[in-house]
Amino acid sequence: MINKMSSERKTAIIVGILFIIGTVSGIMAAVFTAPIRAGSAYPLNISANGTQWIIGTLLILLMALSLSMVPVLLYPILKKHNEVLAFGSVLFRGIFEQVGQTLLVISMFLLLTVSEIYGKTGAADASNFQTLGSMLIAAGHWIQNINGIVFSVGTLMIFTLFYQTRLIPRWLSVWGVIGAVLYPSPIL
């Protein structure tokens, strides 16, 4: 019994650390990429701030990797209470969200590539590069919209499990359910 408790305690600590890493890296990704996105020459200006863009993009990847591990680590504990919801949380928050974030990272790296090629060829083909950049930005927006839905469904499953199991205070579980339902998605 003591071994089980210490194992669950270790899992809780690791999950907490992963959550903090994911949250901080997500905020830092926004800090790094927001000034570049705000420029009037965006997305063709990305290569001028290439290192900053790469750091921001890699921070998104770190956020996705750390947060996708949370439901995976919680699965052995949560499946004892509701295996379907536990598996669903791994599927949505662990797999689907990770795939979506990876696609977003790829689109961001492609934006950097388009900007670098534009920088080498000059302004003669600016409209073609701007169009390609706009398409990649639109793809990123659609990916984020889909990720918003995936996040909401997975989070709803996790906090429903938390409510049922009382692993965290019920009032906090209710806040999580409300947050999952109200999570902003530009599609809706």
Write out pLDDT tens, residues 39-95.
788 888 999 999 999 999 999 999 999 999 999 999 999 999 999 999 999 999 999
Is 86 among the domain residues? Answer: yes
Distance CA 50, CA 40 (A): 16
Could you tell me if 99 and 165 are in contact, meaning their C-beta atoms sit under 8 angstroms apart? no
Could you tell me if 28 and 59 are in contact, meaning their C-beta atoms sit under 8 angstroms apart? yes
Q: Return the percentage of the chain with pLDDT > 70, whole number.
A: 93
Is 156 among the domain residues? Answer: yes
Q: Which residue has the tokens 């994911």?
A: 22
Is 70 among the domain residues? Answer: yes
Q: Return the percentage of the chain with pLDDT > 90, whole number.
A: 77
Is 95 among the domain residues? Answer: yes
Confidence of residue 188 (pLDDT cuts 50, 70, 90): very low
Tokens representing residue 153 in the block = 């469904």
Is 93 among the domain residues? Answer: yes
Distance CA 173, CA 61 (A): 27
Number of domains, the chain: 1
Is 188 among the domain residues? Answer: no
| pTM of the entire predicted model | 0.87
Is 187 among the domain residues? Answer: no
pLDDT digits (tens, 9 = 90+) for 107-159: 999 999 999 988 887 766 778 888 899 999 999 999 999 999 999 999 999 99
Tokens representing residue 154 in the block = 């997975």
The 8-class DSSP code of residue 134 comes to H
Is 12 among the domain residues? Answer: yes
* Half-sphere exposure for 10 (CA within 13 Å, toward CB): 7
For 38, the domain range is: 2-182
